[in-house]
A and B are shown apart, each in its own frame.
Chain A
Amino acid sequence: MNITVCIKQVPDPNQPYKLSGTRLDREAVQPVLDPGDEFGVEAGLKLAEAHGGEVTVLSMGPAKAMEAMRRALSMGAHKGILVSDEALAGADAQATAQVLAAAIKRNPFDLVIAGTESADGSTGAVPAMIAELLGVPQATFAKQLEVKEGTLTIHRQTQEGYDVVECALPAVLTVTSGVNEPRYPTFKGIMQAKNKPVEQLSAADLGLSVAASQQVAAVNPAPARGQGEIFEDDGTGAARIADFLKNAKVI
């Protein structure tokens, strides 16, 4: 089974973000492999272990994104493709999907895996766009998954519970956080990752010229909520909250 896992390097989502001009300041915060993508890598590795085949990690990003790529390779992925091009800085969902789909298409694939959305952009649109561009079905928001005899079956998160959704491979799959337990890279894995092949491509290599289709017109502070009253608990905290609830007429 040929599995491609899409990953993204993002500024550590556990740190506060800042702007540089109208773009996210990617220098201010330590870049990491998007924590949501670790579940995608793990899902790919598990399937390859069960069904045979290779896991290719695919990313679009600056040269520095190689660190996130190595992290995924050290978990056990076999090889990588990094599309890196200054012309792609600030790429929106449309451009990103076109680039990733074009990179995937160059090789035979059975399954493309991604997280549900990136921790920084949070558009959540790219995986289903890739599915459309590749002409394959999508199985998104999986909280459980199984591949059997060429059919992918997932439990797909819904507002009310989940749906059982199935489709024949090839397909695009997105996994929610918690779908599995991502492994930690072993020392051996980290050493091996340094020698695993990573193909580097430009937009031109993919025959693409993409342009951003969204412009930031203005950035303004949101109207502040009136700062309320903050108390150090001196034993009366519970009573204060209960009074507040009573005044709000909810008890």
Chain B
Amino acid sequence: MNEITRRPTRTGTAMSLSAAGFATLSLAFAAEMAAAGALVATVVLAAGLVRGSRRVLDAAGGLFFLSLAIGGVSGPGPESLLLAAIASILAWDLGENALSVGDHLGREADTTRLEVVHAATTLVVLTVGAGVVYGIAAVASGGQPIAAVVLLVLGAVALVSGVRR
């Protein structure tokens, strides 16, 4: 007894893999290629959680991004793409959180509350954010010059990066 198992927590692993599965599912209705990519990313994510490796988790995050980009290009509805994006960001975030909690507290400690709260806040922020983005896109759809949109994104990134912590 009382050896600390410094591995990703079970709760976090379960939540992360569920989110990854949901991301794969929501892409599957729109674009097969993207869904296949998301499936590979899910497998890599699971491997990263089993091995407890941050690098593998980040690789899984990259693969998710790639599948989302493919999904965006092959043109499913923006709704399912946003849904998949929320789910995949959540999957990576919860996986990484499970890794760090496991590293700090070990598998035996009770961490359910911490991880559920973390999942809930991330989910709320992403859902509200996606709603806002979708709303803006719906209101201002059609007719904008592409350069304006690009400059908008660039400006937003620069502004947000400048915010002091």
> Do A and B truly interact?
no
